[in-house]
Amino acid sequence: MAGEGEKKPVLEMVQADGADEGCVTFVLHNEDHTLGNSLRYMIMKTADVDFCGYTITHPSESKINFRIQTRGSIPATEPLRSGLNELSDVCQHVLNTFQARVNEFKERQEEPME
């Protein structure tokens, strides 16, 4: 599943222990602390995650090693997927709140002029 032919890989999985699906290191290409730290936070807040961390292997290469270890026999892609979904939902909520407040502020500014 790592990059077929000319397609540049975006996400790779490197499994250290063949049997245990719960301990996986993902390699995310073209990413840095922006997504790495926020995703790490969301996955750490998930239940049943024993370990979650990320490193930037070398500052010259823009890729991060993202490691997830789960408790029990939960495959590691599950907390990754739920973390990404939750981060996306957080962004959506922040966006909605922000836009509502900006519109409110702009309306309040219009009022004294009327």
Partner 1 sequence: IFGKMAETMNIVEEIRNRVILGEYNVKNVHTSDYPGNYPGYDDTWDMQKFQKNFRIDIVHLDESTMEFDMVGIDAAIANAFRRILLAEVPTMAIEKVFIYNNTSIVQDEVLAHRLGLVPIKADPRLFEYRTSAEEEGSEIDTIQLQLKIKCSRNPRATKDSADPRELYLNHMVYSRDIKWVPIGNQADVFADSVIAPVHDDILIAQLRPGQELDVIMHCVKGIGQDHAKFSPVATASYRLLPDITLLEPVEGERAERLKRCFSRGVIDIQDVVAKVVDSRLDTCSREFLRHDDLKNAVKLARFRDHFIFTVESTGILPPDVLVTEAIKVLMVKCQRFLSELDSTDLE
Q: Using CB under 8 A as the criterion, which residues of the chain lie in contact with partner 1 when the complex forms?
A: 1, 10-11, 28, 31-35, 37-42, 44-47, 77, 80-81, 84-95, 97-99, 101-102, 104-106, 109
Smallest gap from Cβ 20 to partner 1, in A, equals: 19
**Smallest distance, partner 1 to C-beta of residue 54, A:** 11
**C-beta separation of 69 from 23 below 8 A:** yes
Cα gap 36→26, rounded to integer Å: 11
CA distance 5 to 20: 29
For the bound state, the minimum distance from the C-beta of residue 58 to partner 1, rounded and expressed in Å, comes to 17
